[in-house]
A and B are shown apart, each in its own frame.
Chain A
């Protein structure tokens, strides 16, 4: 959620291909849609033909995602909201139904990070992080489910993390919240599968989002910043680099589309092999 401005003339998502109509006729809600992974995904889903309700707390990144989508020829509306509020979540669903006449896909993607061991984290910060990363998935899904249950179909995708599968140091609240997202995904897959609703999550590895790059480089000399990025990339011994947000977006697209009609409850690792390494 930085106030970066994309450089004019340089496409910020060089890894996105042309749309191929894979979400033609679908309506999607994407939270955390104005930056990072959510932004790349909103743009990709729109290219693939979906109409997108772009939800974010902040709109400081320009162009705002709905304008970026419209400039590609897609359809999108922006809905400024805090996903920790049940009213906001109901509002985004109402917006989808009102603006686009339906709702097929919900991507619960908004999230944040906070570093610290348990002895260092205060209770308020712990609860705040669980609210943003985990309760937001509960609330977003709770708002979308009545509509999806009534129509007998729907695809919910949640953004978990490799740190929801394996732990890392001084990141206890984040790991706990993302572990919760993986198992909430599976619980909902079991509860709503018989009603035709698929629920999956994506576990991105270290991804070159504005938030991660800022965390890695803030207050450091250019050399130290580069070393810090290289160290983050080296977590992954297979591909030895960070992911681009577009690469995560393609995993989201697979799960969102009808091509994944037999996939539910799955935690799709888009992590360059980070979680398979002993």
Chain B
């Protein structure tokens, strides 16, 4: 959620291809939609034909995502909200139904980091991080499920992390929250699968988002250093590459995929 304006001359998502109608007729709610991975996913889903409710707490990145989507002919509305509030989550679902007459896809993507070992992290920071990264998934899903249960279909995608699969140093709250996201995903897949609702998550590896680039710049770590954690592809992901994994899970092409943690990590989590 940095206040970075995209350059007007170069497209900020160079790896995103043309739309191919893969989400034609669908309505999606995407949280954390104004920056990073959520921003790329919102743009891609719209290119693929979905109408998007773009939810974010901050609207400082310019152009705002709904304007970016409309500038390429797509349909989107912006909903400024804090996903740690159940009223806000109910509000975003109500907006989708009111504005677009339906809701097929929920992408619980909003999240943040709070670095630190357990002895260093305050209880307040720990709880705040769990609220933003994990309880937001509970609340967003809780708001959308009655509608999806009534229609007997729906696709929920949650943004977990490779750090929900393997741990790293000084990131205890983040790792715990993302592991929670993976198992909440699986729990919901089991509970709602018989009702036609699929629930999956993606586990992005190191991704060149404004959040990450800002964090490592503050810590004085070059991105190449971080990217080396991945011995296979030896680079960071672009947000668009994560968005394509989300698109697969969101679309009907993944009709037999549920409860899955899709690693979009260049091989980071397969190494001993």
Contact = CB atoms under 8 A, between A and B. Distances in A.
A145 to B, nearest CB: 15
A271 interface: yes
Contacts of A250: 248, 253-255
A205 B256 contact: yes
Given A22-B20, A189-B232, A190-B267, A254 B194 contact: no
A268 B248 CA distance: 12
Given A21-B20, A238-B194, A272-B193, A260 B231 contact: no
Contact of A190 (B232, B244, B265): B232
B263 interface: yes
Contacts of B190: 237-238, 273, 276-277
A259 interface: yes
Interface stretch (B59-67, B116-124, B138-146, B234-242): B234-242
Interface residues of B, number: 40
Contacts of A248: 256
Contact of B264 (A17, A193, A263, A273): A263
A186 B205 CA distance: 16
A190 B189 CA distance: 31
Given A254-B248, A268-B260, 10 more contacts: A15-B255, A193-B233, A194-B231, A238-B190, A250-B253, A254-B245, A265-B232, A266-B270, A272-B193, A273-B193
B154 interface: no
A266 B189 contact: no
B212 interface: no
A190 B193 CA distance: 34
Nearest to B183: A276
A260 B267 contact: no
B68 interface: no
Contacts of A22: 20
B248 A240 contact: no
Contacts of A268: 257, 260, 262
A261 B253 contact: no
B22 interface: yes
Contact of B267 (A193, A243, A271): A193
Interface string B166-187: 0000000000000000000010
Interface string A235-269: 00111100110011011011000011111111011
B265 A238 contact: no
Contacts of A271: 256-257, 260
Interface of B: 15, 17, 20-22, 186, 189-190, 193-194, 205, 231-234, 237-238, 241-242, 244-245, 247-248, 253-260, 262-267, 269-271
Nearest to B19: A20
Contact of B266 (A239, A247, A264, A276): A264
13 contacts: A20-B20, A186-B267, A186-B270, A237-B194, A247-B256, A259-B247, A260-B244, A262-B205, A263-B263, A272-B256, A272-B258, A273-B186, A276-B186
Nearest to A271: B256
Interface in A12-28: 15, 17, 20-22
Interface string A121-137: 00000000000000000
A61 B167 CA distance: 49
A194 B232 contact: yes
A268 B238 CA distance: 21
B232 A238 contact: no
A193 B193 contact: no
Nearest to B249: A254
A160 interface: no
A276 B20 CA distance: 32
B263 A190 contact: no
